[in-house]
Chains A and B, each alone.
Chain A
Amino acid sequence: TELRLSHQWSNNDIRHKVAQMVADEVAAANVDLDIKIFGSQSLFKAREQYKPLSRGQLDMTVLPLSYAGGQQPAYNLTLMPGLVKNHDHAARLSASPFMAALEEKMAQDDVMVLVHGYLAGGFAGKDKCITRPEDVQGLQTRAAGKAFEQMLAGAGASIASMASSEIYNAMQTGVLQAVNTSSSSFVSYRIYEQTKCYTPAGDVALWFMYQPLLMNKSTFEGLTEAQQQALRDGAAKAQAYYLEEAKKEDAESVKVFADAGVEIAQMTPEDFAAWRELAKETSYKAFLEEVADGQALLDLALAVE
C-alpha cells in the first residue's frame, strides 16, 4: 500500500526529517506500507493541504494546525499567545485533555494525529528590541498567525500582511519594522541581515505553533493491524526526535543572529505576563466570541501545568 504525505518545507527542515523518519521506520517494519513524501509544496500549497486531507484525497501531512482555523475555529488555540511557556510545557500540553478535545474536533473532519509537536519563534526589530507590548507601538509589523495579529494590534502596532518571501525586502526598504515568526523562518529567510535586535524563544516564549503530522482517519483505519502498529511505532520515535530538535532550533537561531552581530534580547517573566494580559483582552476575547465551546477548551489548555 502506498500513502502520500505532503508538506511545505525543504529537505533539510526538521519537519521533513520527522516525516522521513516515520516513512523510514514504516519501511523497515516490512508491512507492505510505503510513504511517499511530497515536500516543498510540490503537491499542494501550504494552506491548501487540510481540505484534501479531510476529504481523503491526501493521506498524510505535516501542517501548522492553525492554517485550518477557518475550517475548525478551535484550532486557533494552537497558535495563541502565551498559552505555551516552553518546549517541555508544550510536550505536556500535547498529552493533556486539551489535546484530546482538539483531536475530537479533528475526528469530525476525519483527521487524526500521528506525531505531536510544537515549534517556537520570536520577534525581530529593524531598529530596536521588542520585549514588551509598548515596544511595538506604531511599528509596521508582520505577524505569523491571526491571534498574534490581534494581540499586536491591541499593543498599537500596525499590521501588514505579506508572504514570508517578501519579509526580507520589506525590512530592508523599511516597509516593515518588526516581524514575528518561527525560529526556522528567521534563519531561512536571513532576516538577521536586516535586524538590529532579536528576541528569541528562551525560558519563556510567547510564540508557539502546533505543527503535527496528521493522517486521514479512515485511511488509517483501513490499514491492517500490523501496518497501523508500524505507523504508531514510527510516530512515537519521531515525536521524541521532534521535541529534541525543536529545542535545538531556537538555540541555533540565536547563534546565527549573534554571529551576524545582531543584539539578542530576552523576554522576562514580567514581560511575558504583560503580553498575556494583553492577549486576554484581545486574541483570547476574539477567540471566545468566535467559538461556542471556546471557554471550556481554553480552561483545559490553561489547566496544564
Chain B
Amino acid sequence: MSGHSSAAAAQTGSNPFLRAVAAISTVAGWCSAAMIVAAVLITCQMIVIRYVLNGSTVWQTEAVIYLMIAATLLGLSYVQRLRGHVNVDLIPLSLPARVRFVLATITSVLTIAIVAVILWYGYEYWHFAWERGWRSDTVWGVKLWIPYLAIPVGFGLLLLQLVADFIALVLGIEKPFGLE
C-alpha cells in the first residue's frame, strides 16, 4: 500500500524540539495555503480586467507563477509532516522490524543529504541573483531574488522537518516508515 496518508501526521510525543518543528512546519503550511488562495484571486482578477474591462494584464501571470512556486516550496515541510509525499513501501512492509529500522535510517540519511545539497546550492543561487541584481525579463521586471528566496527557505524548513523526523525515528517516537 502506498504511504499517502491523511491520518498519520508525524508523531512528536512530548519532545519539545519535535513539537517546535511541527509548529514551524504547520505555519509554513498555512502560508502555502494562503498563497494558493491569493493565486486563485489574482487569476480571477486578471480575467475580469481583461474580459470585462478590456484592460492590460501585465503583472498577474508572473505574480501567480511566483506565488505558486513559493506555495509549493514552503509547503514541502508541512506535507512532509502530514506524511503526504507519496512513496512505495512494498519492500519496507515485507521486512522484519530490525531490518526495516536499518532501511529507514539509510533512507532518512540519504533524504537529509540530498535536501541539504539542494539547500546549499539553492542558497548560492539566490545569493547570486541578489548580488547581480537579476530581474525577470518582463515589463513588471521583478527582482528575482524575491521569488528565488523560496528555494533556500522552503528546503531549509524541509531539512528541519526531516531532521526532526530522523530524531523521532532514533528515539523510537515514530515507527520506521510509519508502519506498525
Contacts and interface: CB of A to CB of B under 8 A. Distances in A.
Tell whether any CB of A sits under 8 Å from a CB of B in the complex.
yes
Contacts of A288: none
A124 B58 CA distance: 21
Given A76-B137, A153-B58, A158-B57, 5 more contacts: A47-B137, A70-B144, A149-B58, A160-B56, A175-B51
A84 B141 CA distance: 24
B55 interface: yes
B57 A160 contact: yes
Interface of A: 47, 66-71, 73, 76, 138, 140, 146, 149-150, 153, 157-162, 175, 290
B98 interface: no
A159 B139 CA distance: 11
Interface size for chain B: under 10, 10 to 19, 20 to 34, or 35 or more residues?
Answer: 10 to 19
A149 B134 contact: no
A102 B136 CA distance: 19
B171 to A, nearest CB: 41
Interface string B127-151: 0000010111111010010000000
A161 B57 contact: yes
Instruction: Please provide the 6 A-B residue pairs with the shortest distance between their CB atoms, ordered closest to farther.
Output: A70-B137, A69-B137, A70-B135, A159-B56, A158-B56, A161-B61
A161 B58 contact: yes
A150 B139 contact: yes
Interface of B: 50-51, 54-58, 61-62, 132, 134-139, 141, 144
A140 B52 CA distance: 12
A67 B56 contact: no
A71 B54 contact: no
B57 A138 contact: no
Contact of B134 (A70, A140, A146): A70
Contact of A146 (B50, B56, B137): B137
Contacts of B54: 138, 140, 158
Contacts of B144: 70
A286 B120 CA distance: 37
A194 B61 CA distance: 24
Nearest to B142: A70
B137 A159 contact: no
Contacts of B51: 175
